[in-house]
Structure 1
Amino acid sequence: MKSVQYVRVVEPMDGGNAARGRGRFAGRVALVTGAGSGIGAAVAGRLAGEGALVVAADIDGPAAEAVAKELPGALAFTVDVADAGQVERSVDEALRAHGRLDVVVHAAGVDDPEAKQWIAEALSSGLPPEVVTRLDGSAWERVMRVNLYGTFHVLRAAVRAMVPNRSGAIVTIGSSAALDAPAGYPHYAASKAGVHALSQSVAKEAIAFGVRVNTVAPGPTETGMAARTPAALRQGFADPRVRPYATAGEIADIALFLAGDEAANLVGAVLLANGGRFTV
């Protein structure tokens, strides 16, 4: 397995320090997983814009580096969240570099393009999807390792880092699929339902030590993952009675709210952000 790699991104000479001196997260250190693209990249950018020192982590190291280069004082890490050792080392490196960890937003995750294609083909033919009988163990395990096990690895490492300071905020990214459990997507729905339950259980434990854990559950969102969704399946999400696909920035704004002081009384919350497709 790959070892954790990180680079310090040199701070620009055009007022980067001044930018860090103001904003909701001024003086705070924030680790963002999945920061190389999509929601994670949007979160990293917004945190930096609000004054945070960002540690951008992604399995795609060059992508994380590209994001970090645009943010004053940022660090970039190559991290596979499914590997507990890599997650722990990345948190250790963040602590070594900055001395503390105040915010973690865990946005890393995967879907299953093949299962999506099977669902789209069924929709196009007017037949019910038939996925569970065709789903092999490797596809199930991949989704679980990254989405559920990865969340456990990040939560554990983050709580360990934050408890000594008796403060911190962790935000996990779940999914509305955990709540409506779409037909033909059992492994993804199960993995994200696990993320919700895991986050809520850890939230009840961690708050005794001053650490808040909350979850955003997005609906359809314009990311690289969504771009790989077959057209027939995307059309199924296109409903004029609800909001269109969310932007990554809109979901990032919710994550920052949960990570910020304004949400001080939110612990173990799962905020459904699906544009009105359904309520719970």
Structure 2
Amino acid sequence: MNHHAPDPRRFAGCTALVTGGGSGIGAAVVRRLAAEGARVHVADVVADNATRVAESVGGAAYPVDVTDGAAVDAVVDAVVATAGSLDVVVHTAGVDDPVAKGWLQEAREAGARVDVVSRLADDQWRRVVAVNLDGTFHVLRAAVRVMKQQGSGSIVTVGSSASFDTLVGYPHYAASKAGVHALTQSVAKEAIAYGVRVNTVAPGPVDTPMAGRTPASVRAAMEATGAVGYASPEELADNICYLASPGASNVVGAVLLSNGGRFTVS
């Protein structure tokens, strides 16, 4: 793990909301923002996780399912009602598909050709797209509504390196994350006119609870494609907090590829 020491003044006086903040990358972002002076509000579909992480940094917790646009609006409204403003939003909530990963594992173990797309059920497709893409839209919409009135703010979403170098047999995930990139860039072009910066980070494999559910052979194949291997959540938090910070004031609509060299140098 290689990440920079926190700067306790970088987000001093800022109010931040992190979705998916109860675990993984989101929890690392919460800790980093708090260490750098932000008042952090933590939202997660697992209420207990949100509470645990929020309490560890003296923040507030909110249960939310990002597929529910009205619920996302309510959380953002609650944060603004409590804090008076919203300076930073980091949207890390997302899902994978353990069933499809299981099919990849079966094919590898049998030495067979991958057969996912013909078996992929509508509900599998819709779940991944609803959380990863619809959820991103709901968070972006709610955040921009508030920030454009303020004339300032920074939003960071989480895409994926898999949208550039797709994993065979994982079409719904790749499509959802490619959508996140395009959506984020489109919103960035609109929001900057109101003083709001929007960017995304595109991680490669990251050592999170979600990654822990990946079958061993699939995980090994993913790890072998990068020069560095799996990143830590803290390394991604470094990248995300840079994009959210004043130090990235000239960065707008960017897709920051943070993949340990996956497909770029190996």
Q: Which residue of 2 aligns with 1:165?
A: 150
The separation in 2 between residues aligned to 1:251 and 1:228, in whole angstroms, is 19
1:42-96 CA deviation, whole Å, 9 max, x = no partner?
Answer: 0000000000000000000010000011113x11000000000110000000000
Q: Which residue of 1 aligns with 2:19?
A: 33
Q: 21, 25, 42: which is aligned to 1:56? A: 42
Q: 186, 189, 211: which is aligned to 2:171? A: 186
Matched, 1:145 2:118: no
Matches within 5 A, 1:95-114: 95-114=80-99
Q: CA deviation at 1:22?
A: 4.4
Matches within 5 A, 1:67-216: 67-72=53-58, 74-216=59-201
Q: 202, 208, 228: which is aligned to 1:243? A: 228
Specify the SS of the correspondent of 2:247: helix
Q: CA deviation at 1:121?
A: 1.4
Counterpart AA for 2:152: S
Q: Normalising by structure 1, what TM-score?
A: 0.90
Q: CA deviation at 1:111?
A: 0.3
The separation in 1 between residues aligned to 2:109 and 2:220, in whole angstroms, is 10
1:231-261 CA deviation, whole Å, 9 max, x = no partner?
Answer: 0101102328710200000001100000001
The separation in 1 between residues aligned to 2:262 and 2:201, in whole angstroms, is 15
Q: Which runs of 5+ in 1 are unaligned?
A: 1-20
Mapped contact 2:44–2:63 kept (Cα < 8 A): yes
Q: Which residue of 2 aligns with 1:18?
A: none
Mapped contact 2:226–2:263 kept (Cα < 8 A): no
Counterpart AA for 1:67: V
Specify the SS of the correspondent of 1:70: helix
Q: CA RMSD in A?
A: 1.3
Q: Which residue of 1 aligns with 2:4?
A: none
1:196-219 CA deviation, whole Å, 9 max, x = no partner?
Answer: 000000000000000000000000
Counterpart AA for 1:272: L
The separation in 2 between residues aligned to 1:264 and 1:110, in whole angstroms, is 30
Identity of aligned residues (%): 59
Q: Normalising by structure 2, what TM-score?
A: 0.95
Counterpart AA for 1:275: G
The separation in 2 between residues aligned to 1:241 and 1:157, in whole angstroms, is 35
Matches within 5 A, 1:225-244: 225-239=210-224, 242-244=227-229
Q: Which runs of 5+ in 2 are unaligned?
A: 1-6
The separation in 2 between residues aligned to 1:177 and 1:239, in whole angstroms, is 14
85-94 or 124-133, larger mean C-alpha shift: 124-133
Specify the SS of the correspondent of 2:56: coil
1:122-164 CA deviation, whole Å, 9 max, x = no partner?
Answer: 1222222100000000000000110000000000000001011
Matched, 1:276 2:256: no
Counterpart AA for 1:192: K
